[in-house]
A and B are shown apart, each in its own frame.
Chain A
């Protein structure tokens, strides 16, 4: 946080040894003419960020533009695209599997995002304890996030095995028949939600950075005032963490809308029992590479992009009520 410090700003690209006085503004255009040094610095700056610009153009701008154009065509990836107007978008609204995939994805997002935030926050609080072994704890808590989704999926398949899996070992003493959670349309979604929590370490690190930025003086003042630990958490920690919560919420929603890998591996790409784990991205992939309908898949991708943007804007709008960017106002 920079709210409690005084800083001076200067042009980050300027060079003290070569600073020339700025020429008077060009009255006719209202634009400043760059000095020789500034032009050189601009060229250098552009050159240094050119890999990023190139990456943005090649890997983001071009594919997104291409995908938007393809969404108005019928295209297999091999023959010449055929312009079909909005037909792909109309088909998306009539396709019974799109509604199934949207429902599954919404189910996942509604569960996985809040649970994920909670788990990450709890992990971050645990990582933030002032004990000697904190480095060890941080490593242990973060370690599951390093396991690739592929390996994690297989671990869960074993974990949920009806005969020797831990889950059925737990319920067996209560006399219930063995359950194959991965064979049930709802059970498999819950399993994938649980699986996602093992990757909460990344969000926890961001929470941890936020926690470390909360001034300790605020807690000391609260303790002097007789505030309990719960009150300190609610009145200091949570408000000051709200920008981090907003960040993790938006990235969490974005990730939830694109859930793919775990479901693809657990169901072998089929979408699971009764399409129970057929998430939106899986169905998009199936259309692109199973049915070779790249135009239709692009339309689905554009719709997902619009929905994702809409949700992000909605969250930003709603966040005005709960996000606090000012430490002094806490």
Chain B
């Protein structure tokens, strides 16, 4: 053993070097002190060009002169896994502006993850938040409202319908007029008969062509059809979770009836074969003309144009239970928020306002294929003309209920649907389990009230300027 002093020095030296090595990278990700740099967690990698286009346009404005927007793609918009944003906020490395799945805003606000906008609207715009929010579709703003305060500005929205391959429909010998939204709204019974005629099976009993199943694509969540039955997750008057009502049972019974006609395992094998999990975006059962219809939304337009420009895809309404039932849909979308701890400056506010306002939405929504939430932008028709069918739905559309247990409710509905389609639970049992899962979580928010405007018809008239 050599001298103690040397060992001690070496030890202390190494410890010091280790501490510096740990400290340096963490410092590198701290929020920038440069007032002209905005750190932004934006859309996924495939859509970076849209975010960049908005940032470039902002740089051309007087407010954006000399401002740099650092765009990062972080694989979570808060939809299911919030570990990145929570860790970043706790570690002081959160972005200045975060592109969030709007549905999760209320939950994020309820856990203290976001900064309320009301004081900044009053400071920078000189109006109340109540007045300022009138520029956007009300259901979109409702999703960003918690405890009477606004926590973000909405960007895009959408709606849901049935996309069908018109050539396949014709080749099977089906009447195209039944799919024409101007002439007819399909009932579930009609759709089931049509789906039977679309099916082709090989010698081993595998589907090689398939028509439709309600649990596919956007139908995976019972929300999609719940709005057609008036099934609600939350009763604002009674302030209780209502996930086991007769309306929900009817939605689950719908799934159960379809599983009897089209066994889940066979449909699942069909999908795993022709559109396996994590398949590239061009490898879908619709693009390979293996499936005739699917419930989806206007975001699909971008993919259709990119990967299957020669296929004749058209849209019709979501099916109704009875012939005279009104049509229905629901809308999702995203928004921009300030994570907790953001030092909100006029520059950052101006960028958020630009991105979520008319200029940004005019640039970004036609590229995405989605719809704007900014009323003047909708009135200007600044979206892909092929999305007009969905734009016409907006006056009677609504969002998922803005609840602080939104993610839990979404999960519970998804699981209930899976239990029914896999046959492990009856509709009654599935609904009861969902209720038992979500109600205790909501009990932590006694007397919670959704905004009064939630679920009301939408007025798309832009406010007078």
Interface residues of A (CB under 8 A from B): 15, 40, 44, 47, 74, 76-79, 91, 94-97, 154, 157, 161-163, 172, 175-180, 182-185, 268-271, 273-275, 286, 288-293
Q: Which of A44, A163, A291 contacts B408 (CB 8 A)?
A: A291
Q: Which of A77, A97, A179 contacts B86 (CB 8 A)?
A: A77
Contact across chains for B269 and A185 when beta carbons are under 8 A apart: no
Contact across chains for B111 and A162 when beta carbons are under 8 A apart: no
Q: Which of B83, B86, B340, B437 contacts A95 (CB 8 A)?
A: B437
Cα–Cα distance between A183 and B8 once the two chains are bound (Å): 59
Given known A-B contacts A78-B113, A178-B206, A274-B424, A292 and B107 have beta carbons under 8 A apart: yes
Contact across chains for A96 and B81 when beta carbons are under 8 A apart: no
Residues of chain A lying within 8 A (CB to CB) of residue B90: 77-78
Q: Which of A178, A269, A288 contacts B273 (CB 8 A)?
A: A178
Contact across chains for B272 and A161 when beta carbons are under 8 A apart: yes
Chain B, residue nearest A163 (CB): B273
Residues of chain B lying within 8 A (CB to CB) of residue A292: 82, 86, 107, 111, 113
Q: Is B268 an interface residue (CB 8 A)?
A: yes
Given known A-B contacts A178-B273, A275-B418, A185 and B424 have beta carbons under 8 A apart: yes
6 A-B pairs with CB atoms under 8 Å apart are A95-B437, A183-B265, A273-B422, A275-B415, A290-B407, A293-B441
Cα–Cα distance between A44 and B113 once the two chains are bound (Å): 47
Contact across chains for A268 and B277 when beta carbons are under 8 A apart: yes
Contact across chains for A269 and B86 when beta carbons are under 8 A apart: no
Cα–Cα distance between A161 and B283 once the two chains are bound (Å): 15
Q: How many A-B contacts if CB must be within 8 Å?
A: 115
Chain B, residue nearest A161 (CB): B276
Chain B, residue nearest A80 (CB): B112
Q: Counting chain B CB atoms within 10 Å of each CB, which of A76, A95, A178 scores highest?
A: A178
Q: Is B183 an interface residue (CB 8 A)?
A: no
Q: Is B170 an interface residue (CB 8 A)?
A: no
Add 18 more A-B contacts to A91-B440, A290-B411 (CB < 8 A). Answer: A40-B4, A76-B110, A76-B112, A76-B113, A78-B111, A95-B437, A95-B440, A97-B437, A154-B278, A162-B272, A163-B273, A175-B204, A176-B204, A184-B265, A270-B414, A271-B415, A288-B83, A290-B80
Chain B, residue nearest A157 (CB): B277
Q: Is B464 an interface residue (CB 8 A)?
A: no
Cα–Cα distance between A78 and B113 once the two chains are bound (Å): 7
Cα–Cα distance between A183 and B268 once the two chains are bound (Å): 7
Residues of chain B lying within 8 A (CB to CB) of residue A286: 411
Contact across chains for A163 and B274 when beta carbons are under 8 A apart: yes
Contact across chains for A180 and B268 when beta carbons are under 8 A apart: yes
**A46 shortest CB reach to chain B, Å:** 11
Residues of chain A lying within 8 A (CB to CB) of residue B273: 161-163, 178, 180
Contact across chains for B205 and A177 when beta carbons are under 8 A apart: yes
Contact across chains for A76 and B111 when beta carbons are under 8 A apart: yes
Residues of chain A lying within 8 A (CB to CB) of residue B80: 269-270, 290
**A296 shortest CB reach to chain B, Å:** 9
**B454 shortest CB reach to chain A, Å:** 22
Cα–Cα distance between A318 and B102 once the two chains are bound (Å): 54
Interface residues of B (CB under 8 A from A): 1, 4, 7-8, 11, 80-83, 86, 89-90, 107, 110-113, 204-206, 265-266, 268-269, 271-274, 276-278, 340, 405, 407-408, 411, 414-415, 418-419, 422, 424, 433, 436-437, 440-441, 444
Residues of chain B lying within 8 A (CB to CB) of residue A183: 265, 268-269, 272
Cα–Cα distance between A180 and B274 once the two chains are bound (Å): 12
Contact across chains for A180 and B272 when beta carbons are under 8 A apart: yes
**A282 shortest CB reach to chain B, Å:** 11
Chain B, residue nearest A51 (CB): B15
Residues of chain A lying within 8 A (CB to CB) of residue B81: 269, 289-290
Residues of chain B lying within 8 A (CB to CB) of residue A185: 422, 424
Q: Which of B111, B204, B405 contacts A177 (CB 8 A)?
A: B204
Given known A-B contacts A78-B86, A274-B418, A292-B86, A157 and B444 have beta carbons under 8 A apart: no
Residues of chain A lying within 8 A (CB to CB) of residue B1: 15
**A93 shortest CB reach to chain B, Å:** 12
Residues of chain A lying within 8 A (CB to CB) of residue B424: 185, 274
* 8 nearest CB pairs, A to B: A76-B111, A289-B83, A183-B268, A78-B112, A163-B273, A180-B272, A177-B205, A79-B112
Cα–Cα distance between A180 and B275 once the two chains are bound (Å): 12
Residues of chain B lying within 8 A (CB to CB) of residue A95: 437, 440
Cα–Cα distance between A88 and B265 once the two chains are bound (Å): 37
Cα–Cα distance between A97 and B414 once the two chains are bound (Å): 13
**B11 shortest CB reach to chain A, Å:** 6
Cα–Cα distance between A50 and B270 once the two chains are bound (Å): 58
Residues of chain A lying within 8 A (CB to CB) of residue B444: 74
Residues of chain A lying within 8 A (CB to CB) of residue B268: 180, 183, 273
Q: Which of A179, A274, A290 contacts B422 (CB 8 A)?
A: A274
Cα–Cα distance between A15 and B271 once the two chains are bound (Å): 72
Chain A, residue nearest B435 (CB): A96
Chain B, residue nearest A182 (CB): B272
Given known A-B contacts A78-B340, A290-B82, A47 and B408 have beta carbons under 8 A apart: no
**B41 shortest CB reach to chain A, Å:** 16
Cα–Cα distance between A268 and B271 once the two chains are bound (Å): 16
Contact across chains for A178 and B269 when beta carbons are under 8 A apart: yes
**A16 shortest CB reach to chain B, Å:** 12
Residues of chain B lying within 8 A (CB to CB) of residue A162: 206, 269, 272-273
**A169 shortest CB reach to chain B, Å:** 12
**A45 shortest CB reach to chain B, Å:** 12
